């Protein structure tokens, strides 16, 4: 066999070489690459090759040495990664079962968009418990104990102990306004502490309260026993109804398009005075009137108003110094307007054929 034939024969074997453990690997190294190894011997013989043949033999010989070194390195890595019980050189790259990636829930997408829009004008997010007490959900928000406004928000009560039939004041919150009472109370505490110690503190409050809420409703295409809200609250000196209107107009245009108009209709909530419902111009008919907006050209999207002084006081905020506005919207309602989902139940049924449609909207 000529030297070239032997190089070619060895080259063919390289990729087939295997080592089950470090010892076998070392044996391979000795066999081929050590001073007396087969490849080193070829180099010894190469020295005696006539000048004019050197190039034709040197090139494949170098390739052989490099591919042997690379292959043994690869075997070494396999042994290190898999432990010596696995035969190195074996294919360890079996394709796993494909993992199907999900998409984000349409309500999460809409909630994030609402939060994003308001965060651009200084609102931050506040959180609070879903299992709440009567005081934070109703009492501190100016709902008198027997007031008919409570009937609009019947909910689920949690009994304190087994055997006690009378509902206690622990309940599932009916709106995220309960978070407002918590952040306002904390705000009042901070103000008092700052006044007492002379320390600096932020003297205004601008928060969003997104979250799940519950109501005792029969489940249908238009109502559910739980849904989602985002509420907003701004407390400062000299906050006016014009500030509220401007913030909501900005929101409507960002959410539904620059051509969107809003209108505020007088309404009633125990915790705001004056109170209003906000409508946006129907983007299906451009305000002319259609089946979607029931011929009015407007669709209702949220409730709002100026925080009632009683609410400020119940949280410990001096209502002669501070004023504020608040608003609250249903995330499902906004999602319906954006995506025209006719049946509310689809949002909680987890049917991926429904859920998959929204991520790229």
Chain residues in the site for ligand DAH (CB under 6 A): 175, 177, 231, 269, 272, 303-305, 326-328
Specify the residue, 38 or 243, whose C-beta has the smaller distance to ligand DAH. 243
Q: Which is nearer to ligand DAH, 275 or 281 (CB)?
A: 275
Closer CB to ligand DAH, 234 or 256, in the complex: 234
Taking the mean position of all CA atoms in its chain, how far away is CA 184? 26
By residue count, the chain amounts to: 361
Q: How far is the CB of 162 from ligand DAH (least distance, A)?
A: 31
Tell me if the bond preceding 221 is cis, omega within 30° of 0: no
Q: How far is the CB of 175 from ligand DAH (least distance, A)?
A: 3
Nearer Cβ to ligand DAH, position 32 or 143? 143
**Tokens read off for 327:** 């608003």
Q: How far is the CB of 106 from ligand DAH (least distance, A)?
A: 21
Cβ proximity to ligand DAH: between 73 and 204 the closer is 204
Of all residues in the shown chain, the one whose CB is closest to ligand DAH is: 328
Count of beta carbons in the 10 Å neighbourhood of residue 83: 9
Give every strand in the sheet of 124-125, ordered side by side: 124-125, 205-214, 226-236, 323-330, 298-307, 272-281, 262-269
> Which residues, at least 6 apart from 14, have a Cβ–Cβ distance to it below 8 Å?
64, 67, 68, 71
What's the min distance (Å) between Cβ of 189 and ligand DAH?
21
**281 forms bridges with which residues in the sheet?**
298
* CA–CA distance, 319 with 237 (Å, rounded to integer): 10
Query: Toward ligand DAH, which CB reaches closer, 61 or 272?
Result: 272
Q: Which is nearer to ligand DAH, 214 or 269 (CB)?
A: 269
Nearer to ligand DAH, 79 or 141 (CB): 141
Dihedral, CA atoms, 281, 287, 290, 295, nearest 10 degrees? 80
Least Å from the CB of residue 269 to ligand DAH: 5
Q: Shortest distance, CB of residue 169 to ligand DAH, whole angstroms?
A: 19
**Choice between 19 and 329, CB closer to ligand DAH:** 329
Buried b (16+ CB within 10 A) or exposed e, 217-254: eeeeeeebeebbbbbbbbbeeebeeebbbebbbebbbb
Give me the least distance between CB of 248 and ligand DAH, in Å please: 11
Angle at 267 between CA 265 and CA 341, to 5 degrees: 70
For residue 307, what are its two tokens? 């925080």
CB of residue 149 to ligand DAH, shortest distance in Å: 10
Coil, helix or strand at residue 295 = coil
CA distances from 297 to 164, 265, 273, 286, 343 (A): 51, 14, 27, 7, 22
Residue among 68, 63, 48 at smallest CA distance from 3: 48
Q: How far is the CB of 303 from ligand DAH (least distance, A)?
A: 3
The widest CA-to-CA distance across the chain, in whole angstroms, is: 111
């Amino acid at each position: 066999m000529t030297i070239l034939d032997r190089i070619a024969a060895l080259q063919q074997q390289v990729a087939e070489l295997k080592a089950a453990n470090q010892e076998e690997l070392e044996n391979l190294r000795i066999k081929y690459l050590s001073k007396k190894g087969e490849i080193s011997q070829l180099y010894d013989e190469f020295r005696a090759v006539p000048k004019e043949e050197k190039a034709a033999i040197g090139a494949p010989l170098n390739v052989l040495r490099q591919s042997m070194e690379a292959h043994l390195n690869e075997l070494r890595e396999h042994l290190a990664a898999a432990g010596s019980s696995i035969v190195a050189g074996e294919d360890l790259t079996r394709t796993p079962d494909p993992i199907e990636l999900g998409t984000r829930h349409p309500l999460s997408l809409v909630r994030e968009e609402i939060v994003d829009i308001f965060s651009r004008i200084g609102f931050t997010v506040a959180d609070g418990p879903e299992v709440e007490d009567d005081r934070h959900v109703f009492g501190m928000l100016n709902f008198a104990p027997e007031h008919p406004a409570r009937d609009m928000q019947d909910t689920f009560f949690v009994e304190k102990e087994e055997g006690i039939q009378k509902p206690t004041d622990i309940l599932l919150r009916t709106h995220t306004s309960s978070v407002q009472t918590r952040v306002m109370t904390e705000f009042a505490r901070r103000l008092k502490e700052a006044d007492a110690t002379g320390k600096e503190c932020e003297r205004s409050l601008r928060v969003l309260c997104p979250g799940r809420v519950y109501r005792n409703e029969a489940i249908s295409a238009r109502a559910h026993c739980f849904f989602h809200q985002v509420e907003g609250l701004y407390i400062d000196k000299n906050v006016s109804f014009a500030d509220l209107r401007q913030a909501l107009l900005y929101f409507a245009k960002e959410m539904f398009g620059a051509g969107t108009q809003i209108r505020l209709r007088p309404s009633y909530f125990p915790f705001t005075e004056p109170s209003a419902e906000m409508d946006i111009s129907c983007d299906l008919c451009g305000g002319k009137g259609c089946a979607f907006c029931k011929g009015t050209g407007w669709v209702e999207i949220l409730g709002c108003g100026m925080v009632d002084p009683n609410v400020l006081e119940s949280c410990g905020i001096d209502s002669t110094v501070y004023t504020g506005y608040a608003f609250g919207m249903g995330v499902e309602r906004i999602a319906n307007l954006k995506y025209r989902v006719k049946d509310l139940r689809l949002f909680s049924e987890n049917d991926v054929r429904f859920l998959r449609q929204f991520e790229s909207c």
